[in-house]
Amino acid sequence: MRNKTVAVIGAGPAGLPTIKNLMDQGFDVTGFDRCEDVGGNWQFNDSTGHSSVFETTHIISSKYTSEYEDFPLPKDSPDYPSHVQLLRYFRAYATEFGLRPHIRFRTTVSRAEPVEGHRWRLTWQTDEGSTESKVFDALCVASGHHHTPRWPEYPGEFSGEYIHSHDYKRAAGFAGKRVLVIGGGNSACDVAVETARVSSKTVISWRRGYYLIPKFVFGMPVDKFFYRFRHLPKWAQIRGMKLTINLLQGRNRDIGLPEPDHEILATHPTLNSDLYLAIRHGKVLPKGDVARFDGRTVHFADGTAQEFDCVVACTGFHITHPFLDRSLIDLSQTSVRLYQRMLPSHLKNLYFIGLFQPLGCIWPGAELQAKLAARHLAGLWEPAKDLDELIDHELANPDVRQVNSHRHTITVNDFAFRHRLRADLARSLPGRKERASSGLPSFATE
């Protein structure tokens, strides 16, 4: 009897554990990735066609919550590893578990469609221009959700340089320029701080208030500190976080930024220790919402106007899977119907891995999804109830009540989410033993 064939789209932080865990259960796995090697958007390069980290990116969750269960980070890792160190980690993972021979690099999947027998036909193009097609028994989509920029909509047109954070790579190109950064998320704050080091002026525009969370609290990484209190009631956790942050850092109004009109976890947290100081030092200037563009003049909602050379829109991404027909499954809406952010109810042998936005790090949760998907395909686990019923329950009982916006359609509390995935895994039958490693010996050898 032949092994089931499984296609995995993506060889980044979500795709790698998917390929590994499917192999551990004995499947014949073929991975597909557009890049030359593994790592996904943690591969920094200057190409605007590739969604990648910035030149100075460090992870915003600490090393204590940002490693695979079966492949620890080196013990000498800094609290917040750089993108260079994380890319080395992902590539070492691929080497340790022998994943590269099972991945077709420099390959773009253009279409995935269901065929008879609940199987999936994939069509792809190589970088040499050839088109190929093959039918697989199952499909795992692990291609991420930071590909298609979401642009803000304002009256008028800006005549200067207008880019999305998707295309921002480094600050050097903004030297001596007047820069406006739109957004209050992690990318926006990073871009504002970085461009302010070289620009003649950097302004950051916030439409609403966000909580600025420092990376360290009482000398500890903030996620490690608050993890201690995860068993407290949600209201107690939220009050404790707000009180701690306000005491240690101050309030938004102290630096001219709008105060949040929601609870601390009702929007995705912005972890940045530098923006507060940059504004305090006059390097970054805070403004409210943009009202309209007029050439190089930007008019703000408070009635003021300023001239800019560049605008960087850090306004998020649409959830898109261009290889899947929208009539088949459309995940761009505010209600994403996937059990455990993974299983659709109406399509068999299709899994989404890493299609969630945790309040912390994504790949530990993606690894657990990968384990569950592999066991489901192997017949070792089944959902406890009808999938539609389970999905309805998840949507009605989110981890955190968040602002109703496209940015928060796939948000989960990473600790609660992992707990639910582990609970499902605990109900699965024993399968093949999953491979594990002691991890990288050290980052000091770089």
Give tens-digit pLDDT for 177-225: 999 999 999 999 999 999 999 999 999 999 989 899 999 999 999 999 9
pLDDT score at 115: 96
Length of the chain (residues): 446
Crossing angle (nearest 10°) for helices 363-377 and 15-24:
30
Q: At 438, is the pLDDT very low, low, confident or very high (cuts 50, 70, 90)?
A: low
CA distance 397 to 410: 13
Kindly tell me the burial class for residue 55, based on how many C-beta atoms sit within 10 Å of its own C-beta (0-12, 13-18, 19 or more). Answer: middle
pLDDT score at 228: 87
Task: Tell me the DSSP string of 141-200.
Answer: E---S-SEE-----SS-B-SEEEEGGG---SGGGTT-EEEEE--SHHHHHHHHHHHTTSS
Give tens-digit pLDDT for 139-182: 999 998 877 899 999 999 999 999 999 999 999 999 999 999 99
Mean pLDDT for 5-22 is 98
For residue 183, count other CB atoms closer than 10 A to its CB.
Answer: 23
What amino acid occupies position 393? H
Q: Are 443 and 89 in contact (CB under 8 A)?
A: no
- Among the listed residues 266, 257, 318, the one whose alpha carbon sits nearest the alpha carbon of residue 289: 257
C-alpha distances in Å from residue 172, one per residue of 53, 54, 175, 334, 395 = 15, 12, 6, 37, 44
- DSSP class of 63: G
Q: At 446, is the pLDDT very low, low, confident or very high (cuts 50, 70, 90)?
A: very low
Helix/strand/coil percent split, the chain, to 5 = 30, 20, 50
pTM of the predicted model as reported, rounded to 2 decimal places: 0.92
Residue with tokens 């989509």: 141
Q: Are 366 and 16 in contact (CB under 8 A)?
A: no
CA distance 411 to 392: 16
Which H or E run includes 111?
Answer: strand 107-115
